[in-house]
Structure 1
Amino acid sequence: MPPISRRKLISSTAALAAASSLPMPAWAKGASHPHARNGFGELSGEDIQLTIGDAHFTTGGRSGHAFAVNGSVPGPLIRLREGQNVRLHVTNNLAEDSSIHWHGLLLPFQFDGVPGVSFPGIKPGETFTYEFPVRQNGTYWWHSHSGLQEQAGHYGPIVIESNEPDPRPERRYDREYVVLLSEFTPMHPHAIMRKLKVGEHYFQTQMQSATEGEMPGAQRRMWGQMRMNPRDISDVTGMTYSYLINGHGPADDLQLEFKPGERVRLRVINGSAMTFFNLRIPGVPMTVIQADGQDVDAVEVDEFQIGVAETYDVIVAPKDGSHAIVAEAMDRSGMGVASLTSHKGHIATPPPLREIPTLTMTDMGMMDHAAMGHDMGATDGGMDHSMRDTSKLPDDVKTGPGLDMVAPMPTDRMDFPGLGLDTVDHRVLRYTDLKARRMNPHRAIDRTMEIHLTGNMERYMWSFDGKKFTSVTDDPIRFGYDERVRVKLVNDTMMAHPIHLHGHFFEMVNGADHMHQPLKHTMVVQPGGTATFDLTANEPGDWAFHCHLLYHMHAGMMQVVTVRPFPA
């Protein structure tokens, strides 16, 4: 069987289906590869060299193949400065095509790094040079956009220094650390995809039975009718994942040192493939100062949920001692752990995993049954029918086997802090807490658009508007250059989706006045809910637009945004 290129894997429906049945690569048959370093070094300057290669990676009791960049997992921290020009020379030493996407960076689209959309990819043995001016500052990251390489270690952090340091006292800090959250599994990514296609519950070990717990009988019947489980929270879990902080699993005892009295900036990046993390430092408040690299008014919290591909910068002032940085998976099947310590060698004791959260009727896009005024189970499948009623969908949403549920009453959930965090007794960040520190230019809305996030969980099919991505030429989302568009995302599924738009920042419509709507490049759309953003399409070219849950994107929840014409 001839090798299948990564570009064809993305651009062909047949190849996407075949991804789960690829022949075993040479490295999986016991080929010898160098051991990847856990953690990352740092690179800076005008010319930066990056080399992608096969490696062997170990953390705790798990060990397996990885794609290492410059010999480490994660790959190196790239430190840039606002206003500089940078050339990034990327050499691919793999036996397959590869790529690097500079997540959140504003740049010419041909250097965005998405094979089949903005460039052809980097073939084995070749070097590709990305060259662009650095037009921003903040915390970002980079990762492969080829096949499922990101799952296997092909990612790393970016820090861009500002030309104008912020003098405000609440933003002052004495030292900083990148806190890059991710996962590692020895299982081949295509094997994971195959298991999800066969049964989406394969990695679930915490499923709730039809008779378990205090759920009313009507709701139990409703869940049964929908063939869904109220603990179907994460597709891939701690059953196969070790959760990492800066490439170190909990058993590695990672330490981040500080001196008593210092203020520490933590640049938190969710570089995982599939995991939402709830991050906290018990006993240490965190002041959020940036979201997705963009300044926001300072807000103090005790915990926040960070979706895949999001970043948050926080300032902490820990007391003398050792404090656990806890990145607990949303489904609470495991955690990443590090010690923020003023005593070298002292390891903080993390708290135990908390109780597993349970999905509610709100996550199904409906009000609770009391508010509905009748017993949900009394209509002999009436609830099942209402959640499959496609009559209220817009005409451009394709119905069929790829769409197995429709949220009957989706509501704006921008104030929801994330599954499992709505019942805690401490301060939790919400999107409605975010306010841009600098004023946005005032622009009237030229056009509105509604996009539905759709899927069939049982068949593991994911899409926008019921249409699975197959190629760049298939009806892209079109924006006129400099057009101002309000986009409403409607999540008809029971899973949260972190939606990422390449090449742009959009303004979240989160209740802030229109001059201070926070800028982001990735936004979580909660189950059964809606989320809205305002976009000024001022970056010409072809850009990927997708769910950043890796296996959702590869199952079809992706589209291309085309911004035309190019300005003179």
Structure 2
Amino acid sequence: MVSFSRRNLIRSTAALAAASALPMPAWARGQSLTHAKNGFGEVSGEDIRLAIGNHHFMTGSRSGHAVAVNGTVPGPLVRLREGQTARLQVTNNLDEDSSIHWHGLLLPFQFDGVPGVSFPGIKPGETFTYEFPVRQNGTYWWHSHSGLQEQAGHYGPIIIDSADPDPRYDRDYVMLLSEFTPMHPHEIMRKLKVGEHYFQRDMLTATEGDMSGEMRRMWGKMRMNPRDISDVTGSTYTFLINGHGPQDDLQLAFQPGERVRLRVINGSAMTFFNVRIPGVPMMVIQADGQDVDEVQVDEFQIGVAETYDVIVSPPDGSHAIVAEAMDRSGMGVASLTSHKGHRATPPPLREIPTLTMVDMGMMEHSGMAGKDSMGGMDHSMRDKSLVPSDVEVGAGVDMIAPMPMDRMDFPGLGLDKVPHRVLRYTDLKAKRINPHRKVEREMEIHLTGNMERYMWSFDGKKFTAVTDDPIRFGYDERVRVKLVNQTMMAHPIHLHGHFFELVNGADHMHQPLKHTVIVQPGGAATFDLTANEPGDWAFHCHLLYHMHAGMMQVVTVRPFPEGDGA
């Protein structure tokens, strides 16, 4: 590890710029920058340098502190190529520890970038060099895994170019979805702990909707609201596409007749987005950087940390690219246009979705509205008999879903009744055949929480309580993992260092590979994992404040293969 001071780093940058007769970059001069124009700066090659620093960000009427990398929010596009050895030197110019996690990349665990799990982190003024062979291609992203820095702007995209070019498209854009808030992330966390409804501005009132009085009393007894869709909303967030808010007029150009690849990355802290281009079909070709059989849709929901690559063939004109927050509290907007300077008109926000009995893990039918069923539901909220004995049902668990079911075919809250085609996990099939392996072991992990106290966990145990008790897999073991969501919020669950196969109804040779899976409220999702990446890996909900509140674990894969070691 090499140590540089901020002053020496800037002095060195200035000297290099002068020596090459080039203007010194604004980020090195310490200027306040907002974002890279119409996209990203780009870094590539055999030796990539990234610098983390404090900056100021503005979009629309909102402005505030940001953590920028190489002077922009989002940070630069890191472009790698399949087969190369990546060498990335990351310098921390903050006054606190930092890190970069290479989300979705297969690499030695000591370069995964999770402080306290795979390395110590990067101290202020120090440089850490990540070096690893690039074993894949596709669309990925990078972000801080230190504290809540990701919320403040510490993230960016990754493209790994394939050794075999893809002839299916003519033009290629990254679409990195995220949020900006002028509120400090720790202040957001404090407000959520004080009252989980703090950012809600559209709660269901006593007279709205077609809900029965009995149902309203039941929701009230649980101290929950059926519109409690997102913890943090457009009341403080501005939703961004490539760092641009809706007022920033981001335009992506194309020529009529071109096929355009859009690499959609959800790099937000807390927001599920529903993505559509009204009137323009989208052909999904990759999920989480992995090839899937082509499937045509009109809209898809993308959970935090997921990626989808789509190809579109837009007709001449200007088309609104819409990334609508799942709770309909705002949207990110860009124009896909063949007429420079012409801005597409986005559609209005749609009606706010409302949670149902199914989202509580209960079968929804007419008999559930009776008095007896209400009593049964209330009893089930913390009924220990409904979960395995290793799930701790205490203060951190305020609900247990009585009948969680597989919800792989659910398209996402608010999208189950739209009139057009919406992507579902059951639509995904791996393009390449997976190796045939029989499952050797099965395990069940419960997603648990107390929404009122803002406590989140796996199996009722917060991360701080389980650091000495990781989830253990034998090297090359084949395990089927069932995730059961005992809460009424959707959770995007991410496993570092591996791809797993969704058990989504496809034959076992074509189960799609992913690194992140949405587990729907009151539902279950199952994946098959071949634990063939040795080391210690983070496993967590990718909603940043849920992870920070305790919904995280460590997966350890041992022993190391012969000739390898920790």
- Answering whether residue 91 of structure 2 is matched by residue 95 of structure 1, we say no
Corresponding residue for residue 352 of structure 1:
348
Corresponding residue for residue 35 of structure 1:
32
Q: 1:166 deviation in Å?
A: 3.7
Corresponding residue for residue 198 of structure 1:
194
Q: 1:338 to 1:374 in 2, by over 3 A?
A: closer
TM-score by length of 1: 0.92
Which of 222, 247, 254 is the equivalent residue of 1:251? 247
Corresponding residue for residue 12 of structure 2:
none
Q: 1:399 deviation in Å?
A: 1.1
SS of the aligned residue for 1:495 comes to coil
CA-based RMSD of the aligned residues comes to 1.2
Q: 1:109 to 1:491 in 2, by over 3 A?
A: same
Corresponding residue for residue 433 of structure 1:
427
Corresponding residue for residue 22 of structure 2:
none
Corresponding residue for residue 17 of structure 2:
none
SS of the aligned residue for 2:115 comes to coil
- Answering whether residue 169 of structure 2 is matched by residue 173 of structure 1, we say yes
1:141-160 pair list within 5 angstroms: 141-160=141-160
- Answering whether residue 319 of structure 2 is matched by residue 299 of structure 1, we say no
Q: 1:222 deviation in Å?
A: 1.4
- Cα distance in 1 for residues equivalent to 2:183 and 2:50: 25
Percent of residue pairs identical: 84
Corresponding residue for residue 478 of structure 1:
472
- Cα distance in 2 for residues equivalent to 1:329 and 1:246: 16
* Deviation per residue, 1:347-377 (Å, 9 max, x gap): 000000000000000000001241xx35444
Moved more, 179-188 or 390-399: 390-399
Corresponding residue for residue 21 of structure 2:
none
Q: Check conservation: 1:69, 1:75, Cα contact below 8 A.
A: yes
SS of the aligned residue for 1:229 comes to coil
SS of the aligned residue for 1:37 comes to coil
Q: Which amino acid aligns with 1:521?
A: H
Q: Which amino acid aligns with 1:406?
A: I
Corresponding residue for residue 448 of structure 2:
454
- Cα distance in 1 for residues equivalent to 2:177 and 2:79: 18
Q: 1:516 to 1:320 in 2, by over 3 A?
A: same
Q: Check conservation: 1:53, 1:71, Cα contact below 8 A.
A: yes
Which of 220, 226, 230 is the equivalent residue of 1:230? 226
- Cα distance in 1 for residues equivalent to 2:382 and 2:251: 50
Corresponding residue for residue 163 of structure 1:
163
SS of the aligned residue for 1:73 comes to coil
SS of the aligned residue for 2:150 comes to helix
SS of the aligned residue for 1:248 comes to coil
Q: Check conservation: 1:274, 1:550, Cα contact below 8 A.
A: yes
Corresponding residue for residue 9 of structure 1:
none
Q: 1:379 deviation in Å?
A: 6.4
SS of the aligned residue for 1:552 comes to helix
Corresponding residue for residue 343 of structure 1:
339
Q: Check conservation: 1:225, 1:381, Cα contact below 8 A.
A: no
Q: Check conservation: 1:277, 1:328, Cα contact below 8 A.
A: yes
Corresponding residue for residue 78 of structure 2:
78
* Deviation per residue, 1:366-414 (Å, 9 max, x gap): 01241xx354445674421122222121011011000000000000000
- Answering whether residue 487 of structure 2 is matched by residue 490 of structure 1, we say no
Q: Check conservation: 1:92, 1:98, Cα contact below 8 A.
A: yes
Q: Check conservation: 1:97, 1:146, Cα contact below 8 A.
A: yes
- Cα distance in 2 for residues equivalent to 1:305 and 1:348: 22
Q: Which amino acid aligns with 2:63?
A: S
SS of the aligned residue for 1:486 comes to strand
- Answering whether residue 315 of structure 2 is matched by residue 319 of structure 1, we say yes
* Deviation per residue, 1:45-89 (Å, 9 max, x gap): 010000000000000000000000000000000111000001000
Q: Check conservation: 1:221, 1:377, Cα contact below 8 A.
A: no
Corresponding residue for residue 516 of structure 1:
510
* Deviation per residue, 1:500-551 (Å, 9 max, x gap): 0000000000000000000000000000000000000000000000000000
- Cα distance in 1 for residues equivalent to 2:365 and 2:503: 29
Which of 264, 267, 270 is the equivalent residue of 1:268? 264
Corresponding residue for residue 13 of structure 2:
none
Corresponding residue for residue 417 of structure 2:
423
- Cα distance in 1 for residues equivalent to 2:507 and 2:139: 25
1:529-568 pair list within 5 angstroms: 529-568=523-562
Aligned positions, number: 531
Corresponding residue for residue 113 of structure 1:
113
Corresponding residue for residue 467 of structure 1:
461
TM-score by length of 2: 0.93
SS of the aligned residue for 2:426 comes to helix
SS of the aligned residue for 1:470 comes to helix
Q: Which amino acid aligns with 1:160?
A: I
SS of the aligned residue for 1:223 comes to helix
- Cα distance in 2 for residues equivalent to 1:560 and 1:378: 42
SS of the aligned residue for 1:38 comes to coil
- Cα distance in 2 for residues equivalent to 1:523 and 1:334: 24
- State the 4+ residue runs in structure 1 displaced beyond 6 angstroms: none
Which of 209, 216, 221 is the equivalent residue of 1:213? 209
SS of the aligned residue for 2:90 comes to strand
- Cα distance in 2 for residues equivalent to 1:472 and 1:218: 40
* Deviation per residue, 1:209-262 (Å, 9 max, x gap): 233211122211211111110000000000000000000000000000000110
* Deviation per residue, 1:321-358 (Å, 9 max, x gap): 00000000000000000000000000000000000000
Which of 437, 446, 449 is the equivalent residue of 1:443? 437
- Cα distance in 1 for residues equivalent to 2:499 and 2:55: 35
Q: 1:75 to 1:412 in 2, by over 3 A?
A: same
SS of the aligned residue for 2:385 comes to coil
Unaligned runs of 5+ in 1: 1-31
- Answering whether residue 403 of structure 2 is matched by residue 406 of structure 1, we say no
Q: 1:451 deviation in Å?
A: 0.2
- Cα distance in 2 for residues equivalent to 1:439 and 1:482: 18
Q: 1:66 to 1:398 in 2, by over 3 A?
A: same
Q: 1:46 to 1:376 in 2, by over 3 A?
A: farther
Q: Check conservation: 1:78, 1:157, Cα contact below 8 A.
A: yes
- Cα distance in 2 for residues equivalent to 1:365 and 1:220: 17
Q: Which amino acid aligns with 2:502?
A: M
